[in-house]
A = this chain, B = another copy of it.
Amino acid sequence: MNQDIQNLPTGMGSATAVEPRLLAAEVLERLRDLIIQGELAPGVKLNERVLCERLRTSRTPVREAIKYLASEGLVELLPNRGAIVTPITAATVRETFVLLAALEALAGELACANASEADIAEIRALHYQMLAHHARGELAPYFRCNQEIHLRLVECTGNTALLNTYRALNGHVRRARYMANLSRERWDHAVEEHQGILDALIRRDKALLPLLLRKHLENKMLVVLEELERQAS
């Protein structure tokens, strides 16, 4: 049940045994990171020549990676005009969060049924680690723990279709919330919600957990939307 995160498909052919790495796969991951971490900002044009120089390859792998990312939704293809990083608008963020909320709710339901005790123990450990970062006011590590918890929850459903979809959509909004400035108040509230979520998971309360997750995601959405407006102004 507990998959090795190393061997989960993060994209192009990374699922084989001895892992013959392809250049295009390297380029893909590098590009994806650049986009998610905002170094390639929403709306920015992807110039192939520039990317080739930066990544030290020819255009072929770059173009193939861009096509992959286009299907993933992180870039938009403009026929005869190349590609841009998919712009983020309040509307798309809202839409994506609504979807993510439904997916996490489903994940919660399935996790109650399918998670192993070890899965739950691991999430619990991550939860306390997150609490520590919260107590120390360490925002970035907190975010990482937070992300990891949500990911683990989806993973331990054992539904790889769900996991793949979740990851793709999560990537879209992570761009927006990367380093969102949480007020202390909201932060505390988020942590409280996480406590409820963990408790429901431990009790395997398959009625409550989906509701809590959905609500939690809705609140996350509000934070991100605020941050988005703050940036816009």
Contacts and interface: CB of A to CB of B under 8 A. Distances in A.
A22 interface: yes
Interface in A1-34: 11-13, 15-16, 19-22, 24-25
A98 B160 CA distance: 11
A58 interface: no
A69 interface: yes
B169 A80 contact: no
A181 interface: no
B79 A16 contact: yes
Contacts of A72: 71
B73 A70 contact: no
Contact of A21 (B12, B60, B79): B79
B71 A11 contact: yes
Interface stretch (A102-110, A139-147, A191-199): A102-110
A51 to B, nearest CB: 15
A65 B25 CA distance: 16
Given A64-B64, A67-B64, A67-B67, A76 B15 contact: yes
A31 to B, nearest CB: 12
A8 to B, nearest CB: 13
Contacts of A99: 103, 106, 159, 161-162, 165
Interface in A100-136: 102-103, 105-106, 110
Given A22-B79, A78-B16, A164 B73 contact: yes
A170 B106 CA distance: 18
A70 B162 CA distance: 16
A95 to B, nearest CB: 4
B77 A160 contact: no
Interface of A: 11-13, 15-16, 19-22, 24-25, 60, 63-65, 67-73, 76-80, 92, 95-96, 98-99, 102-103, 105-106, 110, 159-162, 164-165, 169, 172
